[in-house]
Amino acid sequence: MKHSIRNTIKTAAVASCLLGAAALAPQAQAAGGDQLNGIHAGDILVRLRAISIMPNVETNQSLSALNVGVNNAIVPELDLTYMIRDYLGVELILGTSRHQLTSNLGNLGGVNVLPPTLLLQYHFNHAGRIRPYVGAGLNYTLFYNNGLNAGGQPISITNHSFGPALQAGVDVQVTKSLFVNADIKKIWMHTDATLGGQSLGRLSIDPVVVGLGVGMRF
């Protein structure tokens, strides 16, 4: 419960910052956005972020009885956006993380998560200096390097899932090519676990991902 409350507070804080940036966007445009030239169809945006992955775990069957949880992780993330219109972009997000699973029995081990995500983005104030955006798309999650076990027996999991993804963020232009970025995403992902051929239930991770970074416009 405390973990969920902390995640909610962090998410609300980032969302407030993004909304504040959106409110300032018209002022920024008037204050010299034209000098920085904004973004336009055909531009490629490359961002490198540090992200905090905060799982919102839901379980059923034996996993619920064991009170299984998934730890947070802080990792780098790379994303590429191609602007198909002045205001419309397609973004591919790349990153991987390793998460430890805990339970009433103690640490169950770790597993790597690779969740490439494709998003369609709408960019507000595309010609200005402060440019909020929202996005929605599809996530494919690959689970690999499975080191999970209980009582000395390996826990098997399904190695992939598909799910939706939502995004909101803001780019703030620093020079004609360089900008800083804040971003928040909600990604839905899950896996099914078995032990000795018996189902343990479904583990839904569904993290909120908060990121800060820099980007370049090409």
pLDDT digits (tens, 9 = 90+) for 189-207: 999 999 999 999 999 999 9
pLDDT digits (tens, 9 = 90+) for 101-126: 999 989 999 999 999 999 999 999 99
Task: Report the distance separating Cα 100 and Cα 102, nearest Å.
Answer: 7
Q: Is the overall model pTM greater than 0.85, yes or no? A: no
pLDDT digits (tens, 9 = 90+) for 123-142: 999 999 999 999 999 999 99
pLDDT confidence of residue 152? 87
The list of the chain residues with pLDDT below 50 reads: 1-2, 4-5, 8-9, 12, 15-17, 19, 21-34
pLDDT confidence of residue 8? 46
pLDDT confidence of residue 15? 47
Q: What is the CATH number of the domain that holds 203?
A: 2.40.160.20
pLDDT confidence of residue 10? 52
Contacts 24+ apart (CB under 8 A), 89-93: 89/45, 89/120, 89/121, 89/123, 89/133, 90/118, 90/119, 90/120, 90/121, 91/118, 91/119, 91/120, 91/121, 91/135, 91/137, 91/167, 92/116, 92/117, 92/118, 93/117, 93/118, 93/119, 93/185
pLDDT confidence of residue 36? 66
Domains contained in the chain, number: 1
Sheet holding 58-59, edge to edge: 58-59, 198-204, 190-195, 153-157, 149-150
**Cα→Cα distances 9→14, 15, 104, 161, 207, Å:** 9, 10, 26, 28, 14
Task: Report the distance separating Cα 216 and Cα 71, nearest Å.
Answer: 32
**191: nearest Cα among 87, 135, 112, 127:** 112
Boundaries of domain holding 115: 2-217
Instruction: Give SS3 for 148.
Output: coil
What percentage of the chain exceeds 70 in pLDDT? 83
